[in-house]
Amino acid sequence: EAGVAQSPRYKIIEKRQSVAFWCNPISGHATLYWYQQILGQGPKLLIQFQNNGVVDDSQLPKDRFSAERLKGVDSTLKIQPAKLEDSAVYLCASSSPMGTAYEQYFGPGTRLTVT
């Protein structure tokens, strides 16, 4: 079974530029998550999709961040314009509800450096 795929793996941009990240979840996983992981911290949820609908985006800075999952499979996270504090690893995860404990499967992440 193929895992969660993300691209690019690394990205360096200047502040005020825009950037986009792509995620392809595990086949059949209806739920997709985007997390921001700042160096030395645990992942923080940015947005959760169930199929192509948004379930939770309460921690997404909507003035600069946007995400979509148009066909309920792949997803794109965009930052426009980027700030220095956006430097982090952006993790995508997917899950399929089974039983009472939902396991999330994480991709390798995209490391963003904003200069």
Least separation in angstroms between residue 81's CB and another protein is 27
Which residues of the shown chain bind another protein in the complex (CB under 8 A)? Answer: 4, 6, 33, 40-45, 48, 56, 91, 93, 99-109
Helix (H, G, I), strand (E, B) or coil at 38: coil
Count of residues making up the chain:
115
Least separation in angstroms between residue 113's CB and another protein is 15
Tokens (6 digits) for 69: 């999952």
Least separation in angstroms between residue 46's CB and another protein is 11
Please list, in sequence order, all residues whose beta carbon lies within 8 angstroms of the beta carbon of residue 13, skipping any fewer than 6 positions away.
19, 82, 112, 113, 114, 115
Q: Which is nearer to another protein, 78 or 111 (CB)?
A: 111
Q: Which is nearer to another protein, 31 or 52 (CB)?
A: 31
Cα gap 59→14, rounded to integer Å = 24
